[in-house]
A and B are shown apart, each in its own frame.
Chain A
Amino acid sequence: MITRDVTIRNRAGLHTRPAAAIVKLAAKYKAEFWIEKDGVEINGKSIIGVMTLAAEQGSTLSLRFEGPDEGAFAEAMAQLFESAFGEPT
């Protein structure tokens, strides 16, 4: 299992487009993927789940990966958050 903390960097927060980008990337990997914010943990492969977080700019999320390809998965996901989903920060 790998856990990693990330911060939402883009100004608009975790709205529909970035949420879709997250679940699309997640669907490529086999490992299970969970995101936690303020004690609420949701399945990172579910777009409804990701949008439930309603994470705003500057909020910290804790990512949890568990499965055969968790290493590459965690790396790719962290990079996506780091890129601010290609949106203005």
Chain B
Amino acid sequence: MDLQQIKETRKNSITVGYLFDSNKERLRLKALNGETGFGKEIRDKNIHRPGLALAGYVELFTFNRVQIFGNTEMRYLRHLTLQERIKSFETILQFEIPCMIVTGENTLDPELLTIASERGVAVFQSPFETTKLVYFLGDFLDDQFAPQTVLHGSFLDVYGIGVLMTGRSGIGKSEIALDLVERGHRLVADDVVMVIRKGEGILMGAGSDVVKHFMEIRGLGLIDVRAVFGVRAIRFQKRVEVIVELEEWRQEGEYTRTGLDHDNISLLGVSIPHIKLPIFPGKNITVIVEVIALDYLLKHYGYDAAKAFAKRLDAAISEKNKGRRAIDYFEHDFE
């Protein structure tokens, strides 16, 4: 599979009802005006606090975002007379607002709630303070609108490193995955890996809800890895950290010999180390995949074997005595 050609999708919108249902427990949301405005769509992953707009300055008012009413907004409204308050509230409601969330111990006047209901705008209440709510809700919206894709491959946690193996159908990805699971590593997904971009530089991979931890072994059929190997053999999601592309060894293929020239690949706009691994009968890919994971760990902790070797070689070249034994004199060690 050509990883450069993958189909990237992302949601254009979610409904206010979906936002409420997905977060009502986590953020302890209460719908203050029933299911009013549940059909409205949210198209922006950002959140907005409408302080300035309430004060009447509506230029650059990002009304299409979820509007959060925290202490600042509520205290501003409270210092106005009821008449002014209604006017101020109506100022922002002349725009198409998806929904509002009132945070902390603040509540909305019944008069204002009625106006929101008339305009078909949902008002929720959360006991969380504004910063916390913005943090959690921001993470949820970021996840909902993140670019995502579906890849054909096997995805495992090997020594804590998320290794995604790709390669043509039938090359033996599932068999290697099974071998790795047998050796104590954990399967995230086989054949269908859903990858989503989190934040700016993180890719998370998971299986699909239908398939979960089933895999197909040619000639055997479907296997439920969780049932066979137990809960220790699986996990539900993992950060994608290395991509290993398996391919048949080709005479004319170009493979790295030193490891100094590994390429990164761009997946959903995130740069990920990419290793092309030629395979042929009798080659133990499982062990190589384990070494890839361990080598990645070493690099992560600041040790790059290829660079260390190159440095040692450079030092030897500048020295006079070359090609000496590693140890000069064995001191009567005849073992």
Contact = CB atoms under 8 A, between A and B. Distances in A.
13 contacts: A32-B169, A39-B7, A40-B9, A41-B150, A42-B152, A43-B1, A46-B152, A46-B192, A46-B216, A47-B222, A48-B215, A48-B216, A52-B191
A40 B96 CA distance: 32
A42 B216 contact: no
Given A46-B192, A49-B192, A41 B170 contact: no
Contact of B210 (A27, A45, A52): A52
A40 B150 contact: yes
A26 B214 CA distance: 21
Contacts of A54: 210
A27 B218 CA distance: 11
Contacts of B169: 32, 43, 45-46
B192 A42 contact: yes
Interface residues of B, number: 18
Given A41-B150, A42-B150, A45-B170, 15 more contacts: A27-B170, A40-B150, A41-B7, A42-B192, A43-B152, A46-B191, A46-B192, A47-B216, A47-B222, A48-B190, A48-B191, A49-B191, A52-B208, A52-B210, A54-B210
A82 to B, nearest CB: 24
Nearest to A33: B169
B13 to A, nearest CB: 14
A36 B7 CA distance: 10
Interface of B: 1, 7, 9, 150, 152, 168-170, 190-192, 208, 210-211, 214-216, 222
Given A51-B211, A52-B192, A52-B211, A39 B216 contact: no
A28 B170 CA distance: 12
Contacts of B170: 27, 45
Nearest to A53: B210
A49 B190 CA distance: 9
A20 B214 CA distance: 15
Contacts of A27: 170
